[in-house]
A = this chain, B = another copy of it.
Amino acid sequence: MPIRGLLQSETHRVTGRLTFGMQQSHDVVVVRYGHRPGRDDRMTTHVGLTARALGADRVVVPDNAGQSVETVRDITERFGGPFEIEQSDSLGALIRNFEGTVVHLTMYGLPVQDVERDVRSDLDEGPLMIVVGGEKVPFEIYEHADYNVGVTNQPHSEVAGLAVFLDRLFEGRELDTEWVDAENQVIPQSTGKKVIPGETDTDQHSDA
């Protein structure tokens, strides 16, 4: 199982999960910068789950966010992938050394509606990192980012900002994601809840 997960991860890092027209998209990684254990557990978990549900390929969280890692992995096992969550003790270096475009979501940044087209073009050319702050984002991140982007210039929620940004980046295509290796699959209902066992896994798929 771990080997399989690794192989999947290697594959989708090259290709990205969502396609843009005829072209394969590049990798989109979300970085949760800053985490206070206890106080931030649910917010960091929601950042991770939102990244997964709305089309990012992986999320990196701080070393001290182990509880969020467990929850996101559990959801991915139950509802499918591919999606990776990783921990890092040096997020600053990860951001500085990223070979691709860096977007930092902040209420002080440029309006999302003005920059989303440029970011989308950049994603056609190479991978994208989206940095989502906790409370204290150092000035170096603002300086290093290729785009500081505000989903409104109002204080609200890093989860809400990430969600709107991803939906606009992918222009809604992320809503049609097909999940692989899910134990459970939710069937949309006008009223009530319907959950069925997930699709057969990819190995069996190739025999069908």
Interface of A is mostly: mixed
Which chain B residue has the least Cβ–Cβ distance from A113? B175
Q: Does A188 contact B (CB under 8 A)?
A: yes
Are B110 and A189 within 8 A (Cβ)? Answer: yes
Residues of B within 8 A of A52 (CB): 154, 156
C-alpha spacing A195/B101, complex, angstroms: 27
Residues of B within 8 A of A109 (CB): 188-190
Are B191 and A160 within 8 A (Cβ)? Answer: no
Q: Does A98 contact B (CB under 8 A)?
A: no
Are B192 and A142 within 8 A (Cβ)? Answer: yes
Q: Does A68 contact B (CB under 8 A)?
A: no
Are A46 and B155 within 8 A (Cβ)? Answer: no
C-alpha spacing A157/B161, complex, angstroms: 12
Fill in one digit per residue for A98-114: 1 if any B CB lies within 8 Å of its CB, else 0. 00000000011111110
C-alpha spacing A181/B193, complex, angstroms: 44
Report the minimal beta-carbon distance from A15 to chain B, rounded to whole angstroms: 21
Tell me which of B46, B108, B168 contacts A189 (CB under 8 A).
B108
Residues of B within 8 A of A185 (CB): 153
Tell me which of B111, B139, B163, B192 contacts A157 (CB under 8 A).
B163
Report the minimal beta-carbon distance from A173 to chain B, rounded to whole angstroms: 10
Report the minimal beta-carbon distance from A135 to chain B, rounded to whole angstroms: 12
Are B186 and A153 within 8 A (Cβ)? Answer: yes
25 inter-chain pairs at a CB distance below 8 angstroms, sorted by A residue, are: A42-B42, A43-B46, A46-B157, A49-B155, A49-B156, A52-B154, A52-B156, A79-B155, A107-B186, A108-B186, A108-B194, A108-B195, A109-B188, A109-B189, A142-B191, A148-B191, A152-B175, A152-B177, A153-B185, A157-B159, A159-B159, A159-B163, A160-B162, A160-B163, A163-B164
Q: Assuming A53-B151, A75-B154, A108-B195, what are 11 further A-B pairs, CB within 8 angstroms?
A: A46-B159, A46-B160, A49-B156, A108-B186, A108-B189, A148-B189, A148-B190, A159-B163, A163-B163, A164-B164, A167-B168
